[in-house]
Amino acid sequence: MKDLKPLFPELEETGRPLIIAGPCSAETREQTLDTARQLADYGVKIFRAGIWKPRTKPGGFEGIGTPGLEWLKEVKEQTGMLTACEVATRNHVTEALEAGVDLLWIGARTSANPFAMQEIADTLQELNVDVPVLVKNPVNPDLELWIGAMQRIYNAGIRRLGAIHRGFSVYGKHLYRNVPQWHIPIELRLRFPNMPIIVDPSHIGGKRELIAPLSQQALDMGFNGLIIESHCDPDAAWSDAKQQLTPEVLNFILHTLVMRSDKEVTENLTLLRQQIDRIDNELLEILAKRMEVSREIGRYKKLHRMPVVQANRYNDVIATRVEAGKAMQMDKDFMKTILLAIHDESVRQQIEIINDRNV
Ligand code: PEP
Ligand code: MN
């Protein structure tokens, strides 16, 4: 996927992030047009609205379906904005393109399914269209599956291709609705430097108050744009009410975002980076020391025929360190992730010792 083209060259010339905004779902003609007019007045150029909604359970609002496409046509005629909607099947693609939708995105539940992705790709190829397509990351944190989904679209001849980072689902309660795991989109950017990556703070955060900080974080990391849910009456929204913003609040947030330039490399920054390099080396040495002690414990456990993992000890280690980390301004989830990774490696090393006949 080397020869990708800009999604919308005329909008990207400014070097500013691409902004896509609109309701989670098109609900009624009035709600769609009211939201669109307000967004257009605030200068938004691309309008999103879900027409077909993939819901976790049956019985919820599953999207207005085909009639909503007429409203998107009206949005375009009345406001001049480009329009975007989610597609998941052959029919969605055909109908959306017939209705003149300018940008298609593929949802997280669909990009996790290679059969559905291939069906969408085949349809695009048969129609031989040059439409921009954005592929959301699959619900599970699987970079290869995400790349595979995009390759299917690329192989169908689409060159205006981009990714949307919308976070990953995890079981249980978290600060985020879908945890960002930023290292995954960062790895994607390293592998495909020309691929535009748009961040979806609405689905990552799941709540209004997280939209501004997540958007700033996305820009600070140099991602190329934002897709944000906005509704003329968010509390009354038929889907994702908690995370939608009024166009007014959205506009306020967009104006508070700070664009940073990656061209300013100052001497001070170089010094700070050297400091980070040194600290990283120290971290590695300390980790290696910890593993050495772990292996010693492994030898002891082997001698006394003890099991490798003792649940009480393990829970205690995690709990005390998470608390200590919190006191040092480190996030609970971050502490857990890092401790679990260290613990996994310790266990692996101890098992190696237990299975080694020469020890
Ligand atoms: C959406 O954008 O409204 C949507 C359904 O998103 P996701 O596929 O990321 O859940
Ligand atoms: Mn939504």
Ligand 1 site-directed mutation target among 25, 57, 86, most atoms within 8 Å of CB: 86
**Average pLDDT over the chain, rounded to whole?**
94
Report the percent of the chain where pLDDT is more than 70: 98
Beta bridge partner(s), residue 227: 20
CB 239 within 8 A of CB 54: no
> Does the beta carbon of 167 sit less than 6 angstroms from any atom of ligand 1?
no
Lowest mean pLDDT among 49-58, 86-95, 155-164, 309-318: 309-318
- Which atom of ligand 1 lies nearest, measured to the CA of 54? 5
Q: How confident is the model at residue 181, as a pLDDT?
A: 95
> Does the beta carbon of 103 sit less than 6 angstroms from any atom of ligand 1?
no
d(CA 246, CA 262): 31
Lowest mean pLDDT among 115-124, 143-152, 179-188, 303-312: 303-312
First to last CA, the chain: 49
> Does the beta carbon of 136 sit less than 6 angstroms from any atom of ligand 1?
yes
- Tell me the mean pLDDT in the region 123-143: 97
Listed in order, strand segments (DSSP E) in the chain are 18-22, 46-48, 82-86, 103-106, 133-136, 161-165, 197-199, 225-229
- Tell me the mean pLDDT in the region 308-320: 85
Ligand 1 site-directed mutation target among 104, 203, 230, 244, most atoms within 8 Å of CB: 203
Residue 355 φ then ψ, to 5°: -85, -10
d(CA 220, CA 262): 9
Q: How confident is the model at residue 357, as a pLDDT?
A: 80
Q: How confident is the model at residue 359, as a pLDDT?
A: 65
Residue 331 φ then ψ, to 5°: -65, 145
- Which atom of ligand 1 lies nearest, measured to the CA of 166? 9
Nearest to 252 by CA among 42, 34, 16: 42
Total-model pTM: 0.80
d(CA 44, CA 18): 9
> Does the beta carbon of 228 sit less than 6 angstroms from any atom of ligand 1?
no
> Does the beta carbon of 162 sit less than 6 angstroms from any atom of ligand 1?
no
Q: How far is CA 65 from CA 61, 72, 115, 186, 293, in A?
A: 11, 12, 22, 35, 61
- Separation of CA 36 and ligand 1 centre (Å): 19
Statement: residue 108 has pLDDT above 90: yes
The number of CA neighbours under 13 Å toward the Cβ of 209 is 1
d(CA 104, CA 97): 9
